[in-house]
């Protein structure tokens, strides 16, 4: 039996079929038109169309070819194939068929019913069916349990579409990498020479290979973009993300941020990665070239220690301090053998490694073969300097410290973007002569200048203390021994004072961790938020420095962005981007703004916070524990995107450390995990606890600490737990948006929330698992165990008979942490 579905066939019927298609696998009697079943087949002139008619499965012939192939295509007037089944084995007539075979495989047969292609399942199943999803994924499922047996998204052809995952170790069963393989030519879908892969290196990078030779590389992923593609902003705009949740496992994926824009990526048969955006006016795809836009992007164009500048003539140059290995070849524009050092390194001659120095190359594409080191910028240089085999280092806020010990290859000069690379050179190459006389002379001259400088600075400081000096601060290295500020733009006090109308109370936005926050406007019109350390506050200094240290290293769309700081005499201020919608608590708990946050908006906020937290815990590679997550520390931008703020109490963990103790417990009552509040033990899991509380608050629109059910003194968590046991968690949903249609999703969110607030830190999921649970990647959620209830003293006293309670002191307030039995 065959069937032919034309686009725009009866839509009522489709609606009906849509609603029942989920139950089809189990019941096996209703026919959904996007599904192929046992004893059905698709013939050459027929297609299987996905539910919303976005994609179709059927036969096609490439341009200038008469062979027939089976593929998944966009359901558009322009033939756009995203996946091909029988790439190597074309049919030479139109008698082919697509079927489900007796052993459960999806197969393509020719006119003589001989096997042309098979999904090659490793196990045999009694009955299966294939469904074409609206994402373009063709999925083969076991009818007896609905389990996915095979999917086209895990066997990519040359195209990368939304929700697909390209990378490694995705499917633990097959241990297979999912890569793009180009067509041999536009008329031949057989695997060509070019492949696009995500390499699960310490810091993942993507590559295009010509056979087994690297052809192009993207540079390391810095948490937002591939750092070697400074023009990659459009990728980011389209929701591209690289997930690197465990060593050796990294995959690239993207989601449609704007459903009215259809976009996908393809590796074409000449090895060029293209971005294709559908244009309705044109009725065709708009194509942008992403790789190899210039000759410089060819991998290793200028050889080892060569640097390529697309605007240069010639394009290749040696690094400073290096000369061509072969002048002849170099002059003949054959750059492959690269450059060599002019002067050997002192450390190579047996001197101390510290005898060498570093030269900074600005705005370059970082070379291949980097090693990541879990250190900060201050130690990064020292770590490289002390080891003679380290020949370069770089520091990127999103990656951290990178070291190189092999030859430096594939370096490109950009005019903007890129990163700064510090290369090791002999001191003499840095302009320091070995000559004894020169050293003596320069030392004398230097000492003279140092004395002069000291005198000058002493004079300036004495002026400042008399309050006579108002401006004239150098914008760099104001605190020479304090590297932390070196990276940050410095604002003059005067400018910030003007911007905030002399810190006018009218402009006060609120009270941050260590001082008031003011709204301001710079002369160029940019709105800013200025956090001013209260001059009286001694304790605040530590938190101020901590915030600078933590946040100046971070960059993520769900973290508030630090624009700079101001450090002048007694004044210490931090300048942030201004968030017009204030903090989440005003929206969530203020009755007048509540309605702005519909369910969809809340889901976006929860997910955003989760991504920000994931970045802090994992992707930033610095492992930061925030320690004070709560609605008032979540700021909302003009589109209500959440941004985590207030890093005054955050802690950075070293490489292998994953738990720490503190005597000074800081944080906020109601959001602190029990092990932290009671024993000062904090870890990623204590942030997960706070996130769980936050999640339950966002779902319910109620504060954990000021929540009262009919039974007095019950926290929101206790209430959620009670509802869970009554199998009625949907009641948790905020009254203002109650909608029975959302039931399953609300239940899922509440379920995840309860998993996060479990009493034992060990049983709480880590944040990357939380994200997968929220996005339904993980379908089967474990049952939560009893949460830890944080109850106020009075509440606990009234219920003391029911609870085992212990007393502790947090922030000078005596709390009772009661753990229900
Ligand atoms: C498929 O066809 C065979 C032979 O006609 C029949 O025995 C079998 O029951 C059919 N299976 C289904 C699921 O209809
Ligand atoms: C088509 O392919 C079949 C085998 O797959 C072969 O026997 C036949 O000769 C081919 N026909 C043409 C016209 O190439
Ligand atoms: C399926 O297995 C056969 C035999 O091992 C092999 O020739 C064929 O290429 C495989 N097909 C796919 C799609 O992996
Ligand atoms: C790919 O590699 C092959 C063999 O090494 C070479 O002949 C060919 O020119 C390369 N293609 C490109 C586009 O560089
Ligand atoms: C989505 O894209 C369309 C077309 O480019 C644009 O008009 C619309 O504003 C976009 N929507 C959002 C939410 O960005
Ligand atoms: C591949 O893409 C590049 C850039 O868009 C284009 O110049 C080239 O012609 C394409 N190759 C083929 C075979 O279409
Ligand atoms: C496609 O390209 C045309 C011309 O370059 C441009 O005007 C149009 O906005 C583009 N459409 C999309 C959807 O990007
Ligand atoms: C460039 O130099 C390399 C190494 O010396 C040599 O193998 C290669 O043939 C040369 N290429 C050309 C185009 O001369
Ligand atoms: C120096 O660096 C090399 C290469 O990165 C590494 O193998 C070696 O262990 C380092 N030596 C020391 C003493 O750190």
Most confident of the following: 41-55, 257-271, 586-600, 700-714: 41-55
pLDDT band at 175 (very low <50, low <70, confident <90, very high): low
Ligand 7 closest atom vs CA 282: 1
Report whether pLDDT(35) > 90: yes
Report whether pLDDT(132) > 90: yes
CB of 538 closer than 6 angstroms to any ligand 1 atom? no
Q: Which of 379-393, 404-418, 700-714 has the lowest mean pLDDT?
A: 700-714
Report whether pLDDT(67) > 70: yes
Label residue 31 left, alpha or beta by phi (over 0 means left) and psi (-120 to 50 means alpha).
beta
Residue 283's pLDDT is: 93
Report whether pLDDT(803) > 70: no
Residue with tokens 């009725």: 283
Residue 618's pLDDT is: 76
What is the CB neighbour count within 10 angstroms for residue 75?
A: 17
Q: Which of 99-108, 464-473, 755-764 has the lowest mean pLDDT?
A: 464-473
Please report whether residue 477 resides in a domain. Answer: no
Residue 343's pLDDT is: 86
Q: What domain range includes position 668? A: 584-818
Tell which one of 260, 261, 639, 641 to mutate to probe ligand 5, the residue whose CB is within 8 A of the most ligand atoms. 260
Report whether pLDDT(705) > 80: no
Residue 318's pLDDT is: 95
Residue range 515-522: average pLDDT?
86
Residue 24's pLDDT is: 38
Report whether pLDDT(715) > 70: yes
179 and 129 together in one domain: no
Residue with tokens 């029911």: 802
Interatomic CA distance for residues 788 and 786, integer angstroms: 7
Q: Which two tokens stand for residue 139?
A: 């999925």
Residue range 165-190: average pLDDT?
82
144 and 184 together in one domain: no
Mean pLDDT of the chain: 79
Please report whether residue 604 resides in a domain. Answer: yes
Residue range 677-685: average pLDDT?
83
Ligand 1 closest atom vs CA 38: 13
Residue range 482-500: average pLDDT?
74
Q: Which of 27-41, 76-90, 735-749, 778-792 has the lowest mean pLDDT?
A: 27-41
Percent of the chain with pLDDT over 70: 77
Please report whether residue 473 resides in a domain. Answer: no
Instruction: Convert the pLDDT of each residue in 405-416 to its tens digit.
Output: 988 999 999 988
Most confident of the following: 124-138, 362-376, 433-447, 796-810: 124-138
C-alpha distance from residue 657 to each of 24, 291, 553, 661 (Å): 49, 39, 19, 11
Please report whether residue 365 resides in a domain. Answer: yes
Residue 70's pLDDT is: 97
794 and 662 together in one domain: yes
455 and 414 together in one domain: no
Residue with tokens 């630090």: 562
Ligand 6 closest atom vs CA 271: 1
Residue 124's pLDDT is: 86
720 and 653 together in one domain: yes
Q: Tell me which residue has its CA closest to atom 6 in ligand 2.
A: 92
Residue 25's pLDDT is: 40
Residue 482's pLDDT is: 42
Tell which one of 66, 91, 92 to mutate to probe ligand 2, the residue whose CB is within 8 A of the most ligand atoms. 92
36 and 25 together in one domain: no
Please report whether residue 474 resides in a domain. Answer: no
CA 261 to centroid of ligand 5, rounded, Å: 7
Instruction: Convert the pLDDT of each residue in 334-348 to its tens digit.
Output: 999 999 999 888 777
Report whether pLDDT(98) > 90: yes
CB of 277 closer than 6 angstroms to any ligand 7 atom? yes
pLDDT band at 313 (very low <50, low <70, confident <90, very high): confident
Q: Which of 505-519, 577-591, 763-777 has the lowest mean pLDDT?
A: 505-519
Q: Tell me which residue has its CA closest to atom 12 in ligand 5.
A: 258
For residue 149, what is the enclosing H or E element? strand 148-151
Residue 786's pLDDT is: 87
629 and 684 together in one domain: yes
670 and 765 together in one domain: yes
Query: Looking at residue 163, which CATH number applies to its domain?
Result: 2.90.10
Residue range 626-643: average pLDDT?
90
Residue of 788 and 494 predicted with greater confidence: 494
Residue with tokens 């925030």: 626
Instruction: Convert the pLDDT of each residue in 644-653 to its tens digit.
Output: 988 877 777 7
Please report whether residue 746 resides in a domain. Answer: yes
- Give percent helix, percent strand, percent coil of the chain, each to the nearest 5: 25, 30, 45
CA 409 to centroid of ligand 9, rounded, Å: 20
Please report whether residue 469 resides in a domain. Answer: no
Which residue, of 131, 154, 177, is where some domain finishes?
A: 154
Question: Which of 481-518 are b and which e, b meaning 16 or more Cβ less than 10 Å from the residue's Cβ?
Answer: eeebbeebebbebeebbebbeebeeebebeebbbbbbb
CB of 253 closer than 6 angstroms to any ligand 4 atom? no
Q: Which of 118-127, 161-170, 598-607 has the lowest mean pLDDT?
A: 161-170
330 and 374 together in one domain: yes
For residue 73, what is the enclosing H or E element? strand 69-74
Q: Which residues are catalytic?
A: 628
Ligand 2 closest atom vs CA 114: 5
pLDDT band at 539 (very low <50, low <70, confident <90, very high): low
Residue 446's pLDDT is: 58
Which residue, of 521, 547, 577, is where some domain finishes?
A: 577
Which residue, of 577, 605, 632, is where some domain finishes?
A: 577
Please report whether residue 466 resides in a domain. Answer: no
Residue 236's pLDDT is: 52
CA 283 to centroid of ligand 5, rounded, Å: 18
Interatomic CA distance for residues 313 and 346, integer angstroms: 33
Residue 453's pLDDT is: 59
Query: Looking at residue 529, which CATH number applies to its domain?
Result: 3.30.200.20
Q: Tell me which residue has its CA closest to atom 3 in ligand 1.
A: 39
35 and 118 together in one domain: yes
Residue 526's pLDDT is: 83
Instruction: Convert the pLDDT of each residue in 582-607 to its tens digit.
Output: 889 888 887 777 778 888 889 999 99
444 and 388 together in one domain: no
Residue of 246 and 7 predicted with greater confidence: 246
- Split into its structural domains, the chain has a count of 7
> Helices in 405-488 by DSSP H: which ranges?
436-465
CB of 41 closer than 6 angstroms to any ligand 1 atom? no
125 and 252 together in one domain: no
Residue 813's pLDDT is: 33
């Amino acid at each position: 039996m065959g069937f032919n579905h034309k686009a725009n066939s009866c839509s009522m019927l489709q609606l009906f079929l849509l609603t029942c298609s989920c139950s089809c696998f189990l019941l096996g009697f209703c026919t959904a038109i996007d599904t192929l079943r046992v004893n059905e087949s698709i013939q050459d002139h027929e297609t299987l169309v996905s539910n919303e008619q976005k994609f179709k499965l059927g036969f096609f012939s490439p341009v200038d070819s008469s062979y027939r192939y089976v593929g998944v295509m966009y359901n558009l007037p322009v033939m756009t194939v995203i996946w091909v089944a029988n790439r190597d084995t074309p049919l030479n007539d139109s008698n082919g068929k697509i079927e489900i075979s007796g052993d459960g495989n999806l197969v393509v047969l020719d006119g003589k019913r001989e096997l042309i292609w098979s999904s090659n399942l490793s196990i045999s199943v009694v009955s299966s069916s294939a469904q074409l999803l609206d994402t373009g994924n063709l999925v083969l499922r076991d009818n007896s349990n609905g389990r996915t047996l095979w999917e086209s998204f895990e066997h990519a052809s040359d195209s990368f579409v939304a929700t697909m995952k390209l990378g490694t170790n995705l499917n633990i069963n097959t241990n297979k990498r999912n890569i793009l393989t180009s067509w041999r030519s536009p008329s031949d879908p057989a695997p060509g020479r070019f492949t696009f892969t995500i390499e699960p290196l310490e810091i993942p990078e993507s590559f295009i290979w010509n056979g087994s030779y690297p052809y192009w590389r993207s540079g390391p992923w810095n948490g937002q973009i591939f750092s070697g593609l400074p023009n990659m902003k459009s990728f980011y705009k389209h929701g591209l993300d690289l997930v690197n949740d465990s060593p050796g496992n990294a995959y690239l994926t993207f989601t449609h941020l704007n459903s009215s824009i259809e976009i996908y990526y393809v590796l074409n048969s000449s090895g060029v990665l293209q971005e294709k955006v559908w244009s309705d006016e044109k009725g065709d795809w708009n194509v942008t070239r992403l790789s190899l836009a210039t000759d410089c992007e060819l991998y290793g164009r200028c050889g080892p220690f060569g640097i390529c500048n697309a605007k240069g003539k010639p394009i290749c140059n040696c690094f400073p301090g290096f000369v061509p290995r072969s002048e002849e070849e170099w002059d003949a524009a054959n750059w492959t053998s690269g450059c060599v050092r002019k002067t050997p390194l002192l450390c190579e001659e047996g001197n101390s490694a510290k005898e060498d120095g570093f030269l900074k190359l600005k705005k370059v594409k970082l070379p291949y073969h980097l090693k990541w080191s879990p250190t900060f910028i201050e130690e990064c240089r020292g770590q490289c300097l002390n080891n003679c085999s380290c020949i370069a280092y770089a520091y990127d806020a999103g990656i951290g410290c990178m070291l190189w010990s092999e030859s430096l290859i594939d370096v490109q000069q950009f005019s903007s973007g890129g990163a700064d690379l510090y290369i090791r050179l002999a001191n003499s190459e840095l302009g320091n002569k070995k000559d004894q006389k020169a050293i003596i002379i320069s030392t004398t001259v230097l000492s003279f200048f140092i004395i002069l400088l000291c005198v000058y600075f002493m004079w300036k400081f004495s002026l400042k203390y008399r309050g006579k000096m108002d401006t004239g601060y150098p914008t760099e290295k104001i605190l020479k021994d304090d590297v932390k500020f070196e990276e940050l733009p410095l604002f003059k006090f005067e400018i910030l004072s003007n911007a905030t109308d002399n810190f006018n109370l009218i402009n006060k936005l609120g009270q941050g961790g260590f001082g008031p926050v003011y709204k301001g406007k710079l002369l160029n019109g940019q709105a800013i938020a200025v956090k001013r350390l209260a001059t009286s506050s001694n304790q605040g200094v530590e938190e101020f420095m901590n915030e600078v240290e933590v946040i100046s290293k971070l960059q993520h769309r769900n973290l508030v962005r630090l624009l700079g700081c101001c450090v002048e005499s007694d004044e210490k201020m931090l300048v942030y981007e201004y968030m017009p919608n204030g903090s989440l608590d005003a929206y969530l708990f203020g009755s007048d703004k509540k309605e702005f946050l519909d369910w969809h908006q809340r889901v976006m906020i929860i997910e955003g916070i989760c991504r920000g937290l994931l970045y802090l815990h994992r992707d930033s590679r610095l492992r930061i524990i925030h320690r004070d997550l709560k609605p008032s520390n979540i700021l909302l931008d003009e589109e209500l995107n959440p941004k985590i703020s207030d890093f005054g109490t955050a802690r950075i963990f070293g490489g292998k450390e994953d738990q720490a103790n503190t005597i000074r417990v800081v944080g906020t009552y109601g959001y602190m995990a029990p092990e932290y509040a009671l024993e000062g033990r904090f870890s990623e899991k204590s942030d997960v606890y706070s996130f769980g509380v936050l999640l339950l608050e966002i779902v319910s629109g109620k504060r954990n600490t000021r929540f009262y059910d009919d039974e007095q003194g019950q926290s929101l968590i206790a209430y959620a737990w009670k509802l869970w046991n009554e199998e009625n968690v949907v009641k948790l949903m905020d009254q203002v948006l109650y909608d029975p249609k959302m039931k399953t999703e609300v239940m899922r969110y509440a379920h995840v929330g309860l998993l996060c607030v479990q009493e034992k830190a060990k049983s709480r999921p880590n944040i990357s698992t939380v994200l997968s649970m929220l996005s339904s990647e993980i379908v089967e959620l474990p049952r939560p165990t009893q949460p830890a209830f944080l109850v106020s003293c009075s509440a606990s006293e009234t219920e003391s008979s029911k609870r085992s309670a212990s007393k502790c002191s947090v922030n000078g307030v005596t709390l009772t942490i009661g753990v229900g039995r």
